[in-house]
Amino acid sequence: MTDAKNHISRRSAVTAVAATAALLPLAAQPAAHAATGPAFLHGVASGDPLPDGVLLWTRVTPTPDAVPGSGLGPAVEIGWEVATDQEFRTVVAHGTAKTTASADHTVKADVRGLRPATGYFYRFRADGGAYSPVGRTRTAPAADAVAPGIRFGVVSCANWESGWFSPYRHLAARTDLDAILHLGDYIYEYQSGEYPEKKNVVRQHAPTHEIVTLADYRTRHGRYKTDADLQALHAAVPMIAIWDDHEFANDAWSGGAENHTPGTEGAWASRMAAAKQAYFEWMPVRPSTEGTTYRRLRYGTLADLHLLDLRSFRSEQVGVGSGAVDDPERTVAGRAQLDWLKSGLSGSDTTWRLVGNSVMISPVAFGALPAEILAPLAELLGLPKEGLAINTDQWDGYTDDRRELLAHLTGNAIGNTVFLTGDIHMAWANDVPVKAATYPLSDSAATEFVVTSVTSDNLDDLLHVPAHTVSLAAAAALRAANRHVKWLDMDAHGYGVLDVTAERAQMDYYAVSDKADPHATASWTRSYRTRSGTQRVERASQPVA
């Protein structure tokens, strides 16, 4: 376990419509109860769309006792079909899959042979005639197609106990999205009443203890997928997901986590393996290189999407103020993944390079003196050379990886790179400076849009004060010390909608009225965009739709 005196957790760092009319028949179908035979109690999902295919997912409950994580229940053969119409009069693909308790009765079908940039409907059928809810999905454009635009819903950080998943409901109500990009912390591992504290719990985890074993992780995933808003979102649009730390444990790294005690919770390698197995069973995600979530998807000639895994290969976090953040032996991405990312960015022939990035790459630091003063002073005092980082779980704790990546972008004249980020429970719009201390006189290598949390606590939540009580002053101080930060909202919970055309990439930020209200409304708050060829963020006056 990390030395508490040298470690800063994310919480410490933060402290320093139902579906549309067309979709209502799909998402609003009540799930049958598994009283006498197989039933689909956890909805359906699709993900990782390709030009010719998509991954379909469901979970069948074959008998009443075969609940998630139980290891109980017989083998079941499940049929699936894909159609161009909601009534399934024109079925274009079908097949069967067998599932057992060894896969927690989850089912995946990697369907191919579909048409590019086309919407489809899909469903599953169990022996005895039970049907799943109907889902809607969409394939990606052909690799050489000139797509006029793409639009993603963007979300992160959904803590079950912190509130209701209203942002998912509002995204499910839209009919203009190509996919949902989930940037991590899809589930949380804590025991009930730990985060948030017991008096602020809106609804209780299952299991109530901290999840450690394979059965635990399966049970927690199963609880999440009973949420009606989450089911509606998965049924409405394909999801492209990566993991962050809470799919494992808080502030996870390759050899452990802040929230893991080997003496009482077993070996970290076993816990991580269990968490990954449950994740790939329960999520509509294709395992890729080395059984992780780093992979690449393409949307015609308009954009490619580079998806990162920043937990499996990283070095252990260091404490705030430690000059070890600059150690070239330390890594957040790992050598193989960083080389893969650099190669993919330089080899891209699309207009835009989007990077699904679980923790913020933009520097956020105090003490950013001019470089000619800070660097030698930091060397003498053993301090970070890029200023005093306030969250070393981000790329700020691994500055050599960041320097290498940004030097690759600028050295190879790779433009139109946009990092899409979650994790920090706040909304940000940033330039990504090559040298923060001399910005804006020095270059910006890329831009970054960070979305706030779906429910997970932000600054005012943690301090138990009304919105804007503390956060406005904190945001002003952060922006004053970090001139590349164009906007920062430390209070809202909600989601983003990213709209990309050949001319610009724009993020529209939406906030929900009250995360503790299952019927919360949503409203647009701000929009920021980066124009093609600029590597700079600017405010947009209105959302794209």
Residues 322, 7 contacting (CB under 8 angstroms): no
pLDDT at 32 over 60: no
Average pLDDT over residues 241-263: 97
Q: How many CB atoms lie within 10 A of CB 485?
A: 22
Nearest to 145 by CA among 545, 386, 502, 508: 502
Nearest to 189 by CA among 93, 129, 272: 272
Q: From the CA atom positions of the chain, what is the Rg in Å?
A: 22
CA-based torsion, 118, 123, 124, 127: positive or negative: negative
Give 308-362 pLDDT, tens digit per residue: 999 999 999 998 888 899 999 999 999 999 999 999 999 999 999 999 999 999 9
- How many other CB atoms are there within 10 angstroms of residue 51's CB atom? 21
| d(C-alpha 471, C-alpha 478), whole Å | 10
Q: What stretch of H or E contains 105?
A: none
> 299 to each of 22, 152, 222, how far by Cα in Å?
25, 11, 31
Per-residue pLDDT tens digits for 387-404: 778 789 999 999 999 999
Phi/psi of residue 379, each to 5°? -65, -40
388-389 vs 365-366, strand pairing mode: antiparallel
Assign 325 to helix, strand or coil: helix
For tokens 């050379």, the residue is 385
Closest CA to 310 of 251, 364, 258: 251
What distance in Å separates the CA atoms of residue 99 and residue 105, rounded to the nearest whole number? 5
Q: Distance between CA 244 and CA 142 in Å, rounded?
A: 30
pLDDT band (50, 70, 90) for residue 290:
confident
Q: What pLDDT was estimated at residue 375?
A: 53
Instruction: Kindly indicate the confidence band of residue 471, based on its pLDDT and cuts at 50, 70 and 90.
Output: confident
Distance of CA 401 to the CA centre of its chain: 21
Q: Is 505 left (phi over 0), alpha (psi -120 to 50) or beta?
A: beta
Strands, E assignment, 65-105: 76-83, 91-99
Structural domains of the chain, ranges and CATH numbers in brackets: 4-16+149-540 (3.60.21.70), 31-139 (2.60.40.380)
Of all residues in the chain, the percent with pLDDT exceeding 90 is 80
DSSP 502-538: SSEEEEEEEEES-TT-TT--EEEEEEEEEETTT--EE
Question: Nearest Cα to 501, choosing from 455, 461, 540?
Answer: 540
Q: Which residue has the higher pLDDT, 220 or 460?
A: 220
pLDDT digits (tens, 9 = 90+) for 128-174: 889 999 999 999 999 999 999 999 999 999 999 999 999 999 999 99
pLDDT category of residue 463 using cuts at 50, 70 and 90 = confident
